[in-house]
Structure 1
């Protein structure tokens, strides 16, 4: 049958049937329809407009995942452990769709591993298993390629953080990997939090997010509390305050989302301002050479969602436009060129509005590495982990400010 006749068949199909066909194809294949037949262009455009709506952004150490409302998942960055769920181990510089999976309802990432919960309540896993964080069965490999794992009951919630994974079903909560974190249900969401952390009983808690040295707490009323280290502005408080032994109310009102990384704090406000405080060593807070923010600073406006890891940040504005900043040595920002990237998930870098500082000056991000290495012990001194370890992980790539 001639190609033209094949596309005539598609033109005659009801829109519902045609869209169902699209739903079972990778989006890169769907885009081809609009280029091969002009009469299908508008239908494809309408489908993509509804299909490409971001539900969740998840940033790992050197990779990122983006979940769409439809259940599709895109991945970019390092794939040396199979953490992208894509074939091969080469890094991906632009968002690539994970194929061969069920529609995903929720996902979460650790340092170099990921776990996804499908709309059918089944778990999909991929990535580093060196700490047994993905060992759902005996004799699991240290590198887990994308796979669906079986559980006795339907899974209700999942979470991954650092080198730990947890999930829950009707019978309880189960933990895999490193046990330095403990799983807790906070506001009906599964979280992994430091074992030393005392949860306040007098606050109406909406969320809690922990870095190595500090923790943020969001209340249902929109207030934000912090505890732990304020070195280099981790809690956005005055430089004179180096540490908060108890939960301390931060100068933030009407917050709707929080995120604490090892090096910074992020807060999304109800007016869609994205605020940040802490270390800017890889320009992950702002495209400038200001080494750290002692107080919370507005870094973006009109933002509806975001996520961040130690050295990179991704956020989306109300128009659906994605932006990324920070370290991009493995392509984790997803700003590289790829087939159909402009048709699908295009990610840009935000423009710098501030002058750059000489990289050899005492205030440059490179100099900050030496500054942080000379700081006092961390929030939990016995663990000997924290900001220093985070900075050291980025030393070899500290010159990369894509």
Structure 2
């Protein structure tokens, strides 16, 4: 009788079966590199693939890149340029694609999936589909009910029904949540209809389902000052709230009490990401174009003028040079974009060095950030007179106005200016995965799932129960509804 207790290890499988596992989409570039370094099965040549690939792991990385939605949206020339910029390393290219995709969504950490979003005086945190909030509850932005005015520590939010949260957005007066099901809930001050509900008689103190979007699964929401932008899974854009400057994109200045589709994009193609400033919007389409609409003040629309745009208009500075943009961030007075080669562009008001060009001059159209042109950036984040750029490997650069220490440089004063990109040395060993900055505070998530905050904590927006402000990044702990702090 045959022995039924044969032990067959993974490495004993045929190469084509191993490849099926490696290209399942569940592995990261780091996983593939680890396999390549620890086993000759993944690092050696098996004749299963072209000689241009040095290993099975390398070939698997190339297959994952070819199927990645960000990579698929690029033209052949753009793909070749990115491959060259990654020094012909498929695993590095895959790492770039995965990092960019996660930067405006949840990031994979060793502690699970996480996302951070900072409002004016509060912060939202997703930790494995559960949402926490801290700070001051202006008009219900913390989503803990009318009896809660402040949370000094990250406190779990209760939803009206079992909910797995996939993405959050926060601003001054309201918060928004996208569920894995595609449903959207909002809370906060709805007097401008920014929460998408018809009842404006009182603030919404707990997450409430946006009924007008039932049957329209969403993948992202971006909260502006008195309006909200919703992005459906099909790439359609919906907006609601105040429309004083045309920030709803409907070609007029009429407010919208419930989410209404922006008709313009129906003929353009699917939108892959949206960003909302105080009263303007940036939208990235699948072909890498950037469209802007709303308030033209401070040149934030990127057209070289300060006229309001009542409907979306493509930013020609990118279009003319065939620059494929992957992600954008809309600050209070300036904007930032990340292209397919990991390069960064800034435009708008240059006060305090927020644009990173070594001066305080305004840039009326997008300009390449020369100081970082040799780095492979994976996330950009702009807010009030400051900018952060996260590059490959987890290094975080900051520049602009220190604003209560919210740039994270302990050797600079609370109102100093940093005119060029500078690495946050204290966070260097921790390898940052995501950053979000509010009015005067900033919070980052690291690859190991650790959370660090710095800047103003007067309203407990950093989730510390004792500190009023932090010039240096300080660790935040989620521990049974209470928080502790420790300097890094």
| Higher relative contact order (Cα pairs below 8 Å, separated by 6+ residues) | 1
Is 1:237–2:357 an aligned residue pair?
yes
Is 1:123–2:248 an aligned residue pair?
no
Is 1:269–2:269 an aligned residue pair?
no
- Pairwise CA distance, 1:51: 10
Q: Which runs of 5+ in 2 are unaligned?
A: 1-108, 250-264, 282-292, 304-314, 467-476
Is 1:174–2:238 an aligned residue pair?
yes
2:381 — aligned with what? 259
Q: Distance in 1 between matches of 2:209 and 2:140?
A: 14
Q: Distance in 1 between matches of 2:377 and 2:401?
A: 21
- Pairwise CA distance, 1:186: 8.5
Task: Confirm or deny: 8 A CA contact 1:217 1:225 kept in the other structure.
Answer: yes
Q: Distance in 2 between matches of 1:306 and 1:186?
A: 26
Is 1:217–2:337 an aligned residue pair?
yes
Partner secondary structure for residue 206 of structure 1 = strand
- CA deviations on 1:44-71 (whole Å, 9 max, x unpaired) are xxxxxx9953521000000000012x31
Q: Would the alpha carbon gap of residues 96 and 322 (structure 1) be closer, same or farther in structure 2, given more than 3 Å must change?
A: same
Q: Distance in 2 between matches of 1:316 and 1:172?
A: 30
Is 1:140–2:200 an aligned residue pair?
yes
TM, length-normalised to structure 2: 0.56
- Pairwise CA distance, 1:106: 1.4
| Residue from 446, 459, 462 that aligns with 1:333 | 462
Task: Confirm or deny: 8 A CA contact 1:214 1:235 kept in the other structure.
Answer: yes
Q: What are the equivalent positions in structure 2 for 1:29-178 lying under 5 Å apart?
A: 53-68=112-127, 70-87=128-145, 88-100=147-159, 101=161, 102-136=163-197, 138-146=198-206, 147-150=208-211, 151-157=213-219, 158-169=221-232, 172-178=236-242
Q: Would the alpha carbon gap of residues 191 and 238 (structure 1) be closer, same or farther in structure 2, given more than 3 Å must change?
A: closer
Is 1:293–2:357 an aligned residue pair?
no
1:32 — aligned with what? none
Task: Confirm or deny: 8 A CA contact 2:330 2:336 kept in the other structure.
Answer: yes
Q: Would the alpha carbon gap of residues 316 and 82 (structure 1) be closer, same or farther in structure 2, given more than 3 Å must change?
A: same
Partner secondary structure for residue 81 of structure 1 = helix
Equivalent pairs counted in the alignment come to 297
- Pairwise CA distance, 1:162: 2.1
2:479 — aligned with what? 342
Q: Would the alpha carbon gap of residues 77 and 54 (structure 1) be closer, same or farther in structure 2, given more than 3 Å must change?
A: farther
- CA deviations on 1:86-127 (whole Å, 9 max, x unpaired) are 132320010000123511111111222111111222111111
TM, length-normalised to structure 1: 0.68
1:39 — aligned with what? none
- CA deviations on 1:329-356 (whole Å, 9 max, x unpaired) are 111100227xx943578563645xxxxx
Task: Confirm or deny: 8 A CA contact 1:323 1:347 kept in the other structure.
Answer: no
1:189 — aligned with what? 273
Task: Confirm or deny: 8 A CA contact 1:81 1:89 kept in the other structure.
Answer: no
Q: Would the alpha carbon gap of residues 73 and 140 (structure 1) be closer, same or farther in structure 2, given more than 3 Å must change?
A: same
Task: Confirm or deny: 8 A CA contact 2:114 2:449 kept in the other structure.
Answer: no
Partner secondary structure for residue 352 of structure 2 = helix
How much is the aligned-residue C-alpha RMSD, in angstroms?
A: 2.6
Task: Confirm or deny: 8 A CA contact 2:387 2:400 kept in the other structure.
Answer: yes
Partner secondary structure for residue 134 of structure 1 = coil
Q: Would the alpha carbon gap of residues 205 and 347 (structure 1) be closer, same or farther in structure 2, given more than 3 Å must change?
A: farther
1:356 — aligned with what? none
Partner secondary structure for residue 85 of structure 1 = coil
Q: Which runs of 5+ in 1 are unaligned?
A: 1-49, 352-402
- Pairwise CA distance, 1:273: 0.8
- Pairwise CA distance, 1:207: 0.9
Task: Confirm or deny: 8 A CA contact 1:65 1:74 kept in the other structure.
Answer: yes
Q: Distance in 1 between matches of 2:114 and 2:482?
A: 13
Is 1:281–2:403 an aligned residue pair?
yes
Is 1:311–2:436 an aligned residue pair?
no
1:399 — aligned with what? none
Q: Distance in 1 between matches of 2:119 and 2:437?
A: 8
